[in-house]
Amino acid sequence: MIKSKRIDKSGKVEIKMAKIISFDIWDTIIKRKCHPEEIKLATARYIILKYENKLKEKYKNIYEILKKRDEIEAEECKKNKENGFDDECRILDVFKILEKEIFEENIEIEEELLKEEIDQEKRVIYINPEILPIFEKYKDLKMYCISDFYMSSDNLKELLDYLNLPIKIEKIYSSADYLLNKRTGNLYKKAEEELGIKPEEHIHVGDNVYSDIEMANSLGIETIKTTKQEFNFVPEKGRRFEFDLSTIKKEEKTKEEKLFNTGVDLAPLLYFFGYSIVEYAIKNKIDKVYYATREGETFIKIHEIIKENNPFGVNLPESEIIEVSRMGTFSASLKEMSIMELLRLWSQYREQSMKALFKTLAIDIKPYQKYMDKYNIDIEEKILCPWFDIRVQELFQDKKFVESVNKELKVKKEELLEYFEKSKNIVNDEKDMFMVDIGWRGTIQDNLAHIFTNKKIGGYYLTLYDYYNLQPKNTYKISYLNDKNIRDNEVASMITLLEWIYNPGTGSVTGYKEGKAIRRAKEEETEIVKKYIKPMQEGMIEGARAINEYMKYHPYEAEETKGFVYNLIKKVKENPSKELIEAYYSMIFNDTFGTAEYVEKDDKLTSLQKLNIFKCRNMLRKESWKEAFIVYNNLGYMNVILNFKAFLRKILRRGK
């Protein structure tokens, strides 16, 4: 027994002999890394991830499910109090009623939901360091738990056992088992009655000022108060993110460290895109997500981070890289060498030389030079609307030319099919396929759909623009950034940047041989990626890991992440860092498809050119990302001119 001193009302010191010590559980023995309501929110998300198609329309929203659950809990507590108990409820009773309210049909998953909620609790709980000295001090007393909670003592024991406490808990008294609670004092009385002890033989430890301290004291129980934990939580869609990425940033002593920190700032754009992909795949029962090269080699890293440290609480789809490109898939997707088939290409590239066409097809033009000569076609000549050009029409009516090219196209298709079958176990069957690419129109997906005609092929993209061609019937496409204003104003300005920052430097696929992809990268491109992009990507990945850890404890739907990302994109466009701009203007990458050219950006002005306002203004008009051009060339005065012009336009509009 433990001796304790108390002073009675007359001022005399009483020596009491404690027989037991009891503990509250939440914020006393156990602490969470999130607000308690976020545990319920995780259960709501679980319901949507697994059963969204069976929910009533109103409840296809985690906050509506949470709201309904809280209403049911309140109603159950009220009903039990009216029946002579305290205002308490049992979680399984709540889940049974919730099922009837939110589903279109009769579904009984209350035990499944309870298991998921316990699993989520395990993800977020840890032993309160403040309790360990108390355990040690009172180790000679028998220890119990008395908790106001909607789970049973068996459920609570599972959580305590999971934490491997350094002490033995003799028994847990949960309000859910007795429908009695500490707030009324009835649960204390029930425990003391069963244990055959008096209040003065009882010490209780807890964090709640009223239930654990004032009520226990009023019954004659000695108490010890622990610290209550507070979290910011607003149960509504679009609530703020509270993660802090500044803690993982570096000192910025070197260029690499500055680029790393720039990547950290961009991490939410990469992470939330990956998060939305995985969420979509879970909801739609997709077994595997195929990430298309090149950018997919960066995107898949987010899938792997999520797989390693799962924030969703359900089984996740597998992921795999498919080595594809527009060039690598286009020629294989053509039924034949005909003007009608090539309109899929020419609808986008309305002006094209024969040299560029054959490079796009990944076919050597030299054996076909005689046909070009025959129809007076200069292979370097850029032909506007080739399908209307009489020379091109005559060329495509030449049976020997067409037959010869068709043989090469057939080989291209066979080589592609061999790669997919041998390397990816993908054949032209009826098994659905789901792929991810950066965007912008899903041309590679279209090509694959023309090849794998028996498959339903889905595609998920950072954003999508209007399609040039009629979409294959066996495809569907989803865009993450689907706000039209953001897409057309901000994203459109920075398309090349968005491709560049995700570039892995591994080159583009130009074709296939013996079941393997052939890849080619310009040496300068690889070096520039290594110098500028790799440090930035390292920052993005580290930032993504930090965000993912946060998302484990704070459930959000992917749709909620878009507002944050939109604001980030606006910030990057309007106020880009010097490091990001330097990386942007360093870019060199292969854009052989359609143009037979490499993209290189270098718009650095001389000191003399900077003084020429008219020249700068004319160059600025040609720039899609004007803010980048101004920062890169240190033309701050142009911002004044642009802002003044914007102000004048606004005034003129008001005057109309």
- Would you list the domain boundaries of the chain? 16-225, 330-424, 602-655
How do beta strands 318-322 and 288-292 pair? Answer: parallel
* % pLDDT > 90, the chain: 77
Convert the pLDDT of each residue in 381-403 to its tens digit.
999 999 999 999 999 999 999 99
| DSSP state letters, 300-317 | HHHHHHHHHT-SSSS---
> How sure is the predictor about 653, in pLDDT bands with cuts at 50, 70 and 90?
low
- What pLDDT, on the 0 to 100 scale, is given for residue 621? 74
Let me know: does 127 contact 167? Beta carbons within 8 Å.
Answer: no
Q: DSSP state, 462?
A: S
Helix (H) or strand (E) holding 516: strand 516-520
When the pLDDT of each residue in the chain is averaged and rounded to a whole number, the result is 91
Q: Which two tokens stand for residue 209?
A: 């000022």
Average pLDDT over residues 257-272: 96
Higher pLDDT, 44 or 619: 44
Convert the pLDDT of each residue in 510-557 to its tens digit.
999 999 999 988 888 888 899 999 999 999 999 999 999 999 999 999
Q: Where are the alpha helices (DSSP H) in 382-398?
A: 390-396
Average pLDDT over residues 591-605: 53
- What pLDDT, on the 0 to 100 scale, is given for residue 642? 63
- What pLDDT, on the 0 to 100 scale, is given for residue 646? 60
How do beta strands 20-23 and 202-206 pair? Answer: parallel
Distances 650 to 329, 626, 640, 656 between C-alpha atoms, Å = 48, 20, 15, 10
Average pLDDT over residues 158-178: 97
Domain 16-225 grouped into CATH 3.40.50.20: no
Residue 558 to residue 430: CA distance in whole angstroms: 29
